[in-house]
Structure 1
Amino acid sequence: MFTVDPSPARGEELDWRSRAACRDVDPELFFPTATAGAALAAAERRALAVCTGCPVLAACRTWAVAEQPHGIAGGLTEAQRTALRHPRRARHGRPVGVRVPVPVRGARHRDAGRAALATGAEPGLVAVQCGVTRRTAERWAAELRRAHRVAVGARVGGER
């Protein structure tokens, strides 16, 4: 009889889904049956409440925007993910119709945004997650690239 060891190989990182806040929640919660109005808003709030404080929200949100067309995923509604995929730009460069709650403010949201960018997150998505303009997220990404070049230059220069 053939059995599969469910534990990850030594040193292999567990899939982010195994650490998600929703892993033990009924999946039906994330696919509201209401189509509009107060019932839909209430169903969305219940699902989004699970996402609040999820330790893997950034990874889930990146996946959801790219892969999940229906339901609540990544702390976003279908409409919010659609707006991220096909943004109509407002005067200030923010996608119209996207209102994502910002979990942190000030230096903490800058640090969270930079951390997400350092892991390869797309600047547009980081901008929405952190409640800043895309230009600000792109500036953070440029600062990270500059810091990386300086660090690499210091290592190369120190080896001489």
Structure 2
Amino acid sequence: MTRIVRRGLRGTARPHLSANPVASAAALVPSPDGDLHGAACQGMNPDLFYAAPDPDENELDPQWVEFATRRAKAVCAGCPVKEMCLALAVRRSEPHGVFGGLTAEERRQLKRRTGRKAVAA
């Protein structure tokens, strides 16, 4: 019987499962002002995560909203506290902005889906 030997770097098959945590559990607790320590957005302008209308116009340009949303989601994509941020936003029912990589509408849909699963169980 032939034995298959896998060659390559050990532990790289799942790079997202790091053996070394990015931050300690204490660092992931929200501060009194609501900030999550270690967040990728820490120190960034909060306006980047809200597609706010131009004061000179009454409507939002759909292309601008899509661009702003993608930009915010790109910041969230590699964030070490993304899941906690999303959980806090869902718990607080944040009505606007991108939190944990999801828009307000996506969070509402998530809440409805998970609510149905919890009721069905």
**TM-score normalised to the size of structure 2?**
0.57
Which one of 22, 28, 31 corresponds to residue 41 of structure 2?
22
- Paired residues in the alignment total 81
**TM-score normalised to the size of structure 1?**
0.44
1:31-59 CA deviation, whole Å, 9 max, x = no partner? 11143521110010111111011001111
Is 1:63 matched up with 2:88?
yes
Q: 1:36 to 1:66 in 2, by over 3 A?
A: farther
Unaligned regions of 5+ residues in structure 1, if any?
1-10, 88-123, 126-133, 139-160
The alpha-carbon deviation at position 24 of structure 1 amounts to: 1.5
Q: How many percent identity over aligned positions?
A: 36
Aligned residue number for residue 108 of structure 2: 82
The alpha-carbon deviation at position 85 of structure 1 amounts to: 2.4
Is 1:50 matched up with 2:75?
yes
1:40 alignment partner, SS class? helix
Q: 1:80 to 1:29 in 2, by over 3 A?
A: same
1:39 alignment partner, SS class? helix
**One-letter identity of the residue aligned with 2:26:** E
Is 1:13 matched up with 2:32?
no
Unaligned regions of 5+ residues in structure 2, if any?
1-23, 31-35, 54-59
Runs (4+) of structure 1 exceeding 3 A deviation are none
The alpha-carbon deviation at position 12 of structure 1 amounts to: 8.1
Q: 1:25 to 1:86 in 2, by over 3 A?
A: same
What CA distance in whole angstroms lies between the structure 1 residues aligned with 2:87 and 2:112? 15
What CA distance in whole angstroms lies between the structure 2 residues aligned with 1:38 and 1:28? 17
The RMSD of aligned alpha carbons is 2.6
**One-letter identity of the residue aligned with 2:77:** T
